[in-house]
Amino acid sequence: MASQQPGNITQAYTEGEPLPKRRRVALACSACRARKSKCDGRRPSCSACTSLAIECQYEPSDSSTNLLVRKEYLSELTQRLKNVESVLQRHDDLLTGHLSSCAANREEVSATTRIGDHPSISTVGQVQDGIHLDTLNVEDPGSDDTKTDGLAIEFVDKPTPAFYGDSSTILFTPPYKENNSSECNAAPESREQSPPVMESPRNMPISPMTLPSEREMDTLLSTYFNAYNSLFPFLHEPTFRETYNECKASGFVKARRDWLGVLNMIFAMATHIDQTAEASAKHRFRRSYVFFQRAVSLCSELSMRTVSLSIVHYLLLAALYLQGTQRPIQTWTVHGMLVRTAMALGLHSEQSAQELHPVQQEIRRRTWLTIYCLDKIQSVTCGRPPAIPDEYIVVKMPSPWATTVQTTQRQLSDVDIHTAFLDATVRLHQIVGRSIATQYGQNLGLPGQDMDDSTAIQAASAMRQELRRWSSSLPPYLSLYDPEYSLSESEDTDSDRLRGILTLRYHFANILIHRPLLCTTLRYLTMRGPPVGSPLPYRIQLALAEAHECIRSAEKTIEIVHAVVSAPNPSYTKLDVWFFTLFHVFNSALVVLGRSVLDQHGVYIDHNATQDPVQGPLNQAVEVLDKLDRDNRLAYNCAKFIRRFSQPQSGQG
């Protein structure tokens, strides 16, 4: 019989062995069951249905309760179940973290908790792939942003990881702290409680796509262009207002994201510096911070992947705004991004703008020169190396806007005065840059880089000659005020205001140039401790003679600002923006405190003085800081510092 079977069956077994059992399938298709034929159970179509070209369907019957299931199918179901469980676990952890964060926020609102007051990690959830942390409860490593301000004015004795070099205000204060150590910790304060620190309004909802009313926007634009753009006129007002009016007419539908960021940053700056309103500094900051955050939401991520002139203006305005806040680290970081972005756009090169409209060329040129001035300010106040070497200033100096058409000489002066002011400001900061390079070693902090006394005296003399040449080159409508002239008697015009600001900046540069020699004298007196009245070494006498220039500029700075703020009807528009004025006054007060150390050692006594030569200027400085702004934490801290370290002098008087 075996020989009569087909060949494939003959090969399946040998004679004498049992026939293999037919493999049963768990479920036959409907067509095979209807035909009562064998079904191999293949999916999606069995072999029989495929050969007959008919539809193959598997329909389990009600009686099929103990069907055989493939092992692979069970493994797939098990894996899918694990995946679902993992997703549910993650969802549960996220929900738990969210609810705990909401509870933490409610506690912060009720207790007005400041940033950094929360504990370390408190919520940790175990998930399938690792550990989920509640991000709001992760401990902040800490920052210096509440210890110093944007101009690096410091009021705490704790060490900081941030570097502050020789030209910084922070490094200039230790001699006074050491000389008045007994008064540092026990000086009682009779003033009211310190006003709240300038905190970020964390609980205020901020929508980046929200703008104020048209009336408020128009007012803020006018405030900015009248109060601040005249000091650093890098924005072309007619061009900017033309774009603004076009966007306003279309409902800001087609406004570019980076341009909206610049607009909000202008609103932030205008709100922050506007002292003509009755609002306190705290209220102005909270309002301005809303605009600042909107600008950041619009341009922060964009600035990391896009290079444009609007992005540069956004970063420049952000850096200028942050100088009036308690965020020195953020100010320095934004400034670094600003310099790199400006270089990436080619603002340092005239060649990169050859094909552009003359107005666009001038905007780029003025923007780069403003960044250079800001870089020198940051380098001096923080005591860090400048990001823009003087050799990189190869663009032309600012010139009048190409679109300006004048018919009278009076109109020409009104327009050119701001261009001439920017030109004078840039040239003054070039002198500041050379002082940083020659007298402060570029703030590199190298050991043993201090020059000897004779070299330091020669360097100060050379820099003073440069400063005087700069002063003599100013046009008549920007000439510096005479020492006996009172700024409070001047007219409230652009020319008088800019003359006053240039005068204060001149004294700031003069203080910077001669401060190393004042420090040399102070170090000798505090470290050597010679007897009072004993003759000084000749080199110290020469250094002291140069230090007199520093002290006179400091006293004149305080006198100028005091005359304005103590007038019957003070006009703050005659001064620089409040945080620059605050810095000039506080920096000058530190120099006067240095003079107090000289007086204590009997080496600087003015017999012709009608009042206490030290306590008089210090009292004026405190009065200036009290009247400069209302409810201003920075001004309060500066006044408190001066009061504390001037107490020994008041006790002697």
* Spatial CA neighbour of 239 closest among 300, 180, 309: 309
Q: Alpha-carbon distance 552 to 604, whole Å?
A: 12
Give CA–CA dist 371/391, Å, rounded: 14
Least confident of 230-239, 282-291, 324-333, 406-415: 406-415
- Three-state secondary-structure class, residue 129: coil
Cα 209–268–399 angle (5° rounding)? 110
**How wide is the angle at C-alpha 560 spanned by C-alphas 554 and 566, nearest 5°?**
125
Tens of pLDDT, residue by residue over 12-46, are 445 555 665 666 777 888 889 888 888 888 888 89
Alpha-carbon distance of 596 to 630, in angstroms, equals: 29
Helices (H) then strands (E): counts for the chain: 21, 2
Q: What angle do CA 493, 496, 498 make, to 5 degrees?
A: 105
Among 204, 228, 293, CA closest to 501: 228
In degrees, to the nearest 5, what angle opens at C-alpha 584 toward C-alphas 483 and 325?
155
Confidence of residue 130 (pLDDT cuts 50, 70, 90): low
CA 381 from centroid of its chain's CA atoms: 14
Query: Is it true that the peptide bond before 531 is cis, omega within 30 degrees of 0?
Result: no
pTM of this structure? 0.73
Low-confidence winner among 74-78, 400-404, 538-542, 626-630 (lowest mean pLDDT): 400-404
Residue labelled with tokens 């002697």: 652
Strand partners, 148: 154
Q: Which of 136, 253, 125 is nearest to 202 (CA)?
A: 136
What confidence tens digit (pLDDT) does each residue in 509-536 have? 999 999 999 988 888 888 877 766 678 8
Each residue of 169-187: pLDDT tens digit?
777 764 555 555 433 333 3
What is the C-alpha separation between 364 and 359, in angstroms, rounded? Answer: 9
Q: CA gyration radius for the chain?
A: 37
- Which DSSP string corresponds to 465-510? HHHHHHHHTS-GGGPPPPTT--GGGS-SSHHHHHHHHHHHHHHHHH
Q: How confident is the model at residue 473 (pLDDT cuts 50, 70, 90)?
A: very high
What is the average pLDDT across 306-320?
Answer: 95
Domains of the chain, with CATH numbers?
A: 28-68 (4.10.240.10), 73-137 (no CATH), 199-324 (no CATH)
Say if residues 332 and 375 touch (Cβ distance below 8 Å): no
Q: From its phi and psi, is residue 36 left (phi > 0), alpha (psi between -120 and 50) or beta? A: left
Distances (CA, A) of 10 to 1, 3, 20, 254: 10, 8, 12, 84
DSSP result, 380-434 = HHHT---SS-GGG--SPPP---TT---SSHHHHHHHHHHHHHHHHHHHHHHHHHH
pLDDT tens-place string over residues 206-234: 677 889 999 999 999 999 998 888 889 99
pLDDT of residue 159: 61
